[in-house]
A and B are shown apart, each in its own frame.
Chain A
């Protein structure tokens, strides 16, 4: 079974600074996908960024980028130029495709506070 670990339950960062959220996972699969989801205080979860395990290049989405280390099973999220709107719970998720659909496993989350 897959597991996802986020070792930082809470973090804070000053506005405009850079912060990195860590995520490690355990799997014996070779083909899978990794996600970072954001859940703002209003609670609607939204996708931040996605990485396919077969791609060596790290995914980027504007101020968000990942450091994907497949051998180390590490998938950290870097937020540059942090903004107050980045305050949220961040969940790392592992997904593999199965015959009947998708199998997602989520980490416990990191609560990020961006301070003015």
Chain B
């Protein structure tokens, strides 16, 4: 089975802190994604990566950056956390040409 893990289930940070969310997949998937999930808005794509060191902006990249130095690991970085970044963050991966995304358990981030 594909396994996608995220470094934390819950995280509490202060405004202005730099925050790292890490995602690791164990199935050699080329594509990896970061979403944020908010009630009534569903999942919105922040960034995705289709290969090592390659990235594309999603629908809401402002305030976020990403890093993919190794194929299995995709990091989401909040350079200076703000309260409006309080949310659930979901990581996913997929392997072309197969279409299914596999999701991690999510990280619930609270920014105070």
Question: Is A25 close to B, CB under 8 A?
Answer: no
Cβ-Cβ contact count across A and B, 8 Å cutoff = 53
CA distance A104 to B101 in the complex (A): 10
Given contacts A9-B40, A91-B43, contact A100 B50 (CB under 8 A): yes
**Chain A residue at smallest Cβ distance from B92:** A45
Chain B contact residues: over half helix, strand or loop, or mixed?
A: strand
Is B41 within 8 A of A43, CB to CB?
no
Residues B48 and A101 in contact, CB atoms below 8 Å apart: yes
**Pairs across A and B, CB under 8 Å, 12 listed:** A45-B103, A50-B100, A91-B43, A93-B43, A100-B50, A100-B54, A101-B30, A101-B31, A101-B48, A104-B33, A106-B42, A106-B43
What residues make up the interface of B, taking CB atoms closer than 8 Å to A?
30-31, 33, 35, 40-45, 48, 50, 54, 56, 88, 90, 92, 94, 96, 99-101, 103-106
